[in-house]
Amino acid sequence: MPFLANSMSDDHRGAGTDDVDSHDDATTAEDPQARTPGKGRTPEARSIEASTPEEFGLVQVWWGDGKGKTTAAMGMGFRAAGHGYRVHMLQFLKGGASSVEDVRGEYNAIAAMPGFSYENSGHYGWHALPDGSEDDDHAASARGALRRTRELVDAAAEADLDSPFDLDGPPDDGTHMLILDEVLYAANRELIDREALVELIDSKPDGLELVLTGGHSTPEYVIEHADLVTQVRKERHPIDAGQRARRGTEY
């Protein structure tokens, strides 16, 4: 039935206005799908033009010991950018293990996506792991990322979030969605001041969608300051069986 309904709609696109209206009324009465916001039509890709979100401004928290926190955040970033909104991702402590190469598929994809940009404050290795990296360096990078976050939030506050941004413009001109990847990992390990992070969240402009990810421990300090909290829980992970990070899934 959905395909028949779509086909019938296409057949009537060249008809007069009255015919279209009467057909739509009849279809609506007969086909429950036609009463949905999408009217039962199959979505199609369109060209990306700079636009403005109508309902942005929430704070999202993605945490847990399962795989997919960063992936979910970037997925929302691509979705928002696909609507022509300006998105920026700032990564805290995004290092890597010896099995991770110096090429990241997500960076290549973001670079090719209009309206989506990223920057990385981390470096090779992970905090508190015997991988040759220095914990003091991780802490310094995390503090630098928090300062950079403050700059980006202030820039969004000074910008007109009700107007489209240049899709190729810098995030310092303003963003509609700001993703702080692994920021909770840094806060949980007290590499950055938790109260400073909470203050930053509370001071963000109303129209800025703020997405925070990272950490295996419950981030109690931000729960009451968030509108959406999702725990990504591990049931099984191939890393426990010795599987190394794989190109195309982990990097």
For 167-200, write each residue's pLDDT tens digit: 999 999 999 999 999 999 999 999 999 999 999 9
What average pLDDT does the structure give for the chain? 84
Predicted confidence at residue 245, as pLDDT, reads 77
Higher pLDDT, 165 or 131: 165
Q: Which CATH number fits domain 59-241: 3.90.76.10, 3.40.50.150, 3.40.50.460, 3.40.50.300?
A: 3.40.50.300
| Cβ neighbours around 45 below 10 Å, total | 6
Predicted confidence at residue 230, as pLDDT, reads 98
Predicted confidence at residue 102, as pLDDT, reads 66
Mean pLDDT value across residues 17-34: 58
Is residue 132 scored above 80 in pLDDT?
A: no
Residue 249 tokens read as 């899934």
Is residue 9 scored above 60 in pLDDT?
A: no
Phi then psi for 226, rounded to 5 degrees? -110, 155
**Cα atoms in the 13 Å half-sphere on the side-chain side of 108:** 7
User: Which of the listed ranges 27-41, 64-78, 109-123 does the model predict with the highest average pLDDT?
Assistant: 64-78
**Cα atoms in the 13 Å half-sphere on the side-chain side of 103:** 6
Domain positions in the chain are 2-35, 59-241
- The alpha carbon of 10 is separated from its chain's Cα centroid by a whole number of angstroms, namely 34
Percentage above 70 pLDDT, the chain: 78
Predicted confidence at residue 135, as pLDDT, reads 58
Is residue 2 scored above 90 in pLDDT?
A: no
Mean pLDDT value across residues 34-60: 90
Residues 86-129 have pLDDT tens digits of 999 999 986 655 555 666 789 999 999 999 999 988 765 554 45
Mean pLDDT value across residues 67-75: 96
Is residue 4 scored above 80 in pLDDT?
A: no
Is residue 145 scored above 80 in pLDDT?
A: yes
Burial bucket for residue 172 (CB in 10 Å: 0-12, 13-18, 19+): middle
Predicted confidence at residue 37, as pLDDT, reads 77
Mean pLDDT value across residues 28-56: 85
